[in-house]
Amino acid sequence: MSELRGHIAIEEAIAVPGLAERRPPIPLPGNVKPEFVADMLARLPDVTRWRLPEMDANGIAMQVLSLTVPGIEADENAARAVANAGFVNDYLADVVRDHPDRFAAFAALPLQDPDAAVRELQRAVGELGLRGALVNDHVQGRYLDDPAFDQVWAALAELGVPLYLHPGMPPADAWHVLAGHPEMYGALWSWQAETGGHAMRVVLSGVFDRHPEARMILGHAGEFLPFQLSRFDSRYATLTVPAPLRREPSAYFGENVQVTTSGILAPAAVKALVDVLGPDAVLFAVDYPYESTSAAVAALEQAAIPFADKEKVAFGNARRLLRL
């Protein structure tokens, strides 16, 4: 076992018992192997049987829990979403209260009602002690650059907590490029592209000019984006836009936009991410239970970066950003 210990993993899914009975059924993808589905359905709501032993076996000091996909965002009924977000956040707070040294959590938000989302964020952070919010991509076809959500960004900045922008909603529209290749939909490819596009909408809309203290986290090595920063800058310089950004697009990455290693199991990719954004902007994550904890830990341990930088990625940056 490596001397690198005490990892804080910040994109770790959990299912909340009783939530499924409180909303309409959400169909599962039809092309996922049944044995994988069965394993995930067993592991997602679990805390002590599999989750904690797997953490212990791999040097994970803490998981930051979040409601598994598709989250609250999948519900068309705003009033039900508000009630269910409160239900989920109360449950997450109870798990953290029972295991305060092992778990923290991100809140679910009922963004179908932005006013209620702000109130729930304030409650979740101020009263329940949650460490920010996680949003599963779009909200019934609306993206977080929508002016209606500006108050949410303002509240995040005021509270000093991040928003984790995560994939997982059914697509807002049909992509012809996916036709005939259902395997491309979801975590294999389309979720990264969709969520990366959503994140670029947020950056290019000036959210971080209006709210410079706001922070957004992107998983899966930043959903394709960090390795395109120089191209974003060179092409943006050739465009006329209605409301130009105060800085080049790349300048918001590493400061307002942090990224995680969730689902990235190649040491070379972890190294490249640190090389591009710097060791202060990359945080460790597994994507439990969908990915292997041991493989995620090994990818960071074997990355050819200085040990001090590995410690920042493994736990230091999460402690600072989430005030753990």
The verdict on whether 46 is a catalytic residue reads no
Q: What is the pLDDT of residue 181?
A: 94
Please count the other Cβ atoms lying within 10 Å of the Cβ belonging to residue 314. 26
Question: Confidence band (pLDDT; 50, 70, 90) for 247?
Answer: very high
Residue at 75 is within a domain: yes
- 137, 145, 287, 309: the active-site residue: 287
Residue at 19 is within a domain: yes
Question: Confidence band (pLDDT; 50, 70, 90) for 30?
Answer: confident
Q: What is the pLDDT of residue 172?
A: 83
Residue 75: domain span: 7-322
Q: What is the pLDDT of residue 231?
A: 98
Contact 219, 287 (CB under 8 A): yes
Q: What is the pLDDT of residue 1?
A: 44
Structure tokens at 323: 């005030």
- CATH of residue 236's domain is 3.20.20.140
Span 35-47, average pLDDT: 96
What is the C-alpha to C-alpha distance for residues 149 and 58, in angstroms, rounded to an integer? Answer: 39
Span 218-233, average pLDDT: 97
**Of the candidates 198, 201, 204, 215, which has an alpha carbon nearest to the alpha carbon of residue 244?**
204
- DSSP 8-state symbol, 171: P
Residue at 252 is within a domain: yes
**Of the candidates 122, 114, 56, 124, which has an alpha carbon nearest to the alpha carbon of residue 89?**
124
Q: What is the pLDDT of residue 170?
A: 77
Mean pLDDT of the chain: 96
What is the C-alpha to C-alpha distance for residues 150 and 210, in angstroms, rounded to an integer? Answer: 9
| pLDDT tens column, 182-213 | 999 999 999 999 999 999 999 999 999 999 99
E strands, the chain, where? Answer: 7-14, 60-67, 103-105, 133-136, 163-166, 216-218, 257-260, 282-283
pTM (2 d.p.): 0.97
Contact 140, 71 (CB under 8 A): no
Q: What is the pLDDT of residue 283?
A: 98
Percent of the chain with pLDDT over 90: 91
Residue at 1 is within a domain: no
What is the C-alpha to C-alpha distance for residues 292 and 35, in angstroms, rounded to an integer? Answer: 16
DSSP for 257-306, written as a single string: EEEE-TT---HHHHHHHHHHH-TTSEE----TTTS-HHHHHHHHHTSSS-
What is the C-alpha to C-alpha distance for residues 280 and 258, in angstroms, rounded to an integer? Answer: 9
Phi/psi of residue 154, each to 5°? -65, -40
Q: What is the pLDDT of residue 2?
A: 57
Residue at 160 is within a domain: yes
| pLDDT tens column, 272-295 | 999 999 999 999 999 999 999 999
The yes-or-no verdict on residue 28 having pLDDT over 80 is no
Residue at 190 is within a domain: yes
Give how many domains the chain has, as a whole number. Answer: 1
Compute the 3-state secondary structure of the chain and give helix, strand, coil in percent, each to the nearest 5: 45, 10, 40
Residue at 135 is within a domain: yes
The yes-or-no verdict on residue 27 having pLDDT over 90 is no
Residue at 148 is within a domain: yes
The yes-or-no verdict on residue 255 having pLDDT over 60 is yes
